[in-house]
Structure 1
Amino acid sequence: MNVTLQTPRLLLRQPQLGDAEPIARYLNDFEVAGNLARVPFPYHVADARAWLRTRRAGLPAQETTFCIELPDHGFAGHIGFHAGPDGPILGYWLGRPFWNRGIMTEAVITSLDWFFEATRSDTVLSGVFAFNTASLAIQTKLGFTQTGRSSLLCLARDAEVEHIDTQMTRSVWKARPI
């Protein structure tokens, strides 16, 4: 899918090869990469370019990802969906200069609104490493349910890390107060 989403403060757009440098700049920060499962550290422009080559037109909603842009700054982070063995998984990150500004909450809301309109999926899975209280706070505020704990490989830490598994169902999302 080729989708662009707009909020009062954000533009969520499809990734482009030109995003490699800001992606690498923000992911080559252990405070960011260390919160993510599938991101190595250090993270280089070549890593970003390799990932961006996997982002092609026509991917299904369950594989759609968005760059998060701020009108006054440009690229700030990333949010998107990928297919997991038990269903679609939502993942996201922001560059450290953009933390604690409500940007990710806005991006998650917009992405889930779009996803549940664009698909028939009843559930979106997500989760956070147990030490990532900021990301867990976003999910808790939006109504994600904790479904358990697991151990998940964190490439940046080169270790299995305790993970809090979460999910959002279509019915809970549609029933939430707006």
Structure 2
Amino acid sequence: MRNERAAPMMLPIIETERLILRAPRPQDAEAIALYLNDFAVSGNLARVPFPYHLSDAKAWLRTRHPDTEPDDANFTIEAKGEGYVGHIGFHPGPDGPVIGYWLGKPFWGRGIMTEATIACLDWFFAETRAPVVYSGVFHFNIASLAIQQKLGFTQSGRSWLLCLARDAEVEHIDTQLTLGVWKARRT
């Protein structure tokens, strides 16, 4: 059963020790295109084509608005002193909100995505009180699965999902995180 969507709101700027999470802006297009035009990144994502062009980034950015419902909120991830490094956001799924994320390859292995995901989930659960957030990874994306497991996501099944970059249906490990588990882990 799906929750009613929350009313549109202005996205906040979320600051952590090393990161700034903010609404995407048109000037992010070049960095988005640079990092997503790497198959090591786009090949792990369902809804991103490869090759990925500047025109793709500009078209996607035109769909983003700073006043949106929380379950359609998207944040640019900036590393303090380094600039744009990736993206994290939510979209409505068939069973409820889905969180997805990616990080430019030069920034892998530094704990950036774990830090960004914690901040986004704290914000999302506080804003919506949604009982569950869904996610998942393609079966070969062990690093992303490790982040989710570290944060309390549990495997809820397997499915097949179209990966645009691979132009193929790929086995997907479905995951979910309940508000109760999140609260217990954060205290």
TM-score, structure 2 as length reference: 0.94
What is aligned with 2:152? 143
Matched AA of 1:42: P
Does 1:70 pair with 2:59?
no
Q: Work out the CA distance in 2 between the residues paired with 1:177 and 1:7.
A: 15
What aligned pairs does 1:1-178 form with structure 2 within 5 A after superposition?
1-177=10-186
Q: Work out the CA distance in 1 between the residues paired with 2:66 and 2:179.
A: 26
Percent identical pairs in the alignment equals: 67
The farther-off stretch of 34-43 and 65-74 is 65-74
**Cα distance, 1:56 vs structure 2:** 1.2
* Shift >2 Å, 4+ stretches: none
**Cα distance, 1:120 vs structure 2:** 2.5
Q: Deviations for 1:65-124, whole angstroms, at most 9, x for unmatched residues?
A: 100001121000000000111110000000000000000000010000000000031110
Matched AA of 1:169: T
**Cα distance, 1:58 vs structure 2:** 1.6
Aligned-residue RMSD, C-alpha: 0.8
The farther-off stretch of 18-27 and 64-73 is 64-73
Aligned residues: 178
Matched AA of 1:104: M
TM-score, structure 1 as length reference: 0.98
Q: Work out the CA distance in 2 between the residues paired with 1:46 and 1:120.
A: 36
Q: Work out the CA distance in 1 between the residues paired with 2:36 and 2:170.
A: 19
Runs (5+) with no aligned partner, structure 2: 1-9
SS at match of 1:176: helix
